[in-house]
Chains A and B, each alone.
Chain A
Amino acid sequence: MNSEEIYRLLEPIIKTYLPEDVSAKEINRDSDLTRELNINSAHLVDIILDIEDEFNIEFKNEDMESLRNVNDAISLIQQKISA
């Protein structure tokens, strides 16, 4: 799966947890999930769990540390599905 295909599946997951005052148009590959998209830490966990289901992969606690923006999520997903 290339990063474009991953992004297409990832965007609707993120959209579900966006606060009301953040427009879905603000989601792009460089968006910082907590600082720019204003997703709280509890919803970040929901996003991770939805990603696990969507891509049939499993995240570890350490993975959370390298997850800041949408691109980080895409590369983590790529690593996991090719592993």
Chain B
Amino acid sequence: MNIQKIIEQLPYSEPFIFVDELLSVSKESITGTYTFKNDLFFYEGHFKNNPVTPGVILTECMAQIGLVCFGVYILKEENISEKSTFALSSTEIDFYLPVYPGEKVFVISEKIYFRFQKLKCKVKMLNAKDEVVAKGTISGMILKRE
């Protein structure tokens, strides 16, 4: 499956899409990138006069690339309906470094298993210096879209 097609099939749009580009994908893993633009809406309040990317947004970015983009590919490979998507069912993420406005991050997700409609992945986020920003596990269940 064409890598660009995966992004086109995502159910997100601005201001809540946190995927710029996918670099590689296979049945075992996916790698993608996102650059946190300076003018993103949440920087105004998180924090007062001190913009730092919220952990929930880092988690969202990890889930959009590491679970949902990955899931689009896996569903296609397994010939499961394009009308299906993955709904987040659980996250367990540790954070190590702050991500400031303008930073580019890389998300790498490795499949732990895909069984009984559940996809569980080991996901990590690296910054442009190749330092680990966050890592943990993210799981989702297949959900049929109407």
Contact = CB atoms under 8 A, between A and B. Distances in A.
6 tightest Cβ-Cβ pairs between the two chains A and B: A42-B89, A45-B118, A45-B116, A42-B141, A41-B141, A42-B118
A48 B116 contact: yes
B117 interface: yes
Interface residues of B, number: 10
Contacts of A61: 116
Interface in B91-135: 113, 115-118
Contacts of B118: 41-42, 45
B38 interface: no
B9 interface: no
A40 interface: yes
**SS class, residues of chain A in contact with chain B:** helix
Nearest to B139: A42
A45 B142 CA distance: 12
Interface size grouping (class) on chain A: 10 to 19
B90 interface: yes
Nearest to B113: A49
B90 A49 contact: no
A25 to B, nearest CB: 26
Given A45-B115, A49-B113, 9 more contacts: A40-B89, A41-B117, A42-B140, A44-B116, A45-B141, A48-B115, A48-B116, A49-B115, A64-B116
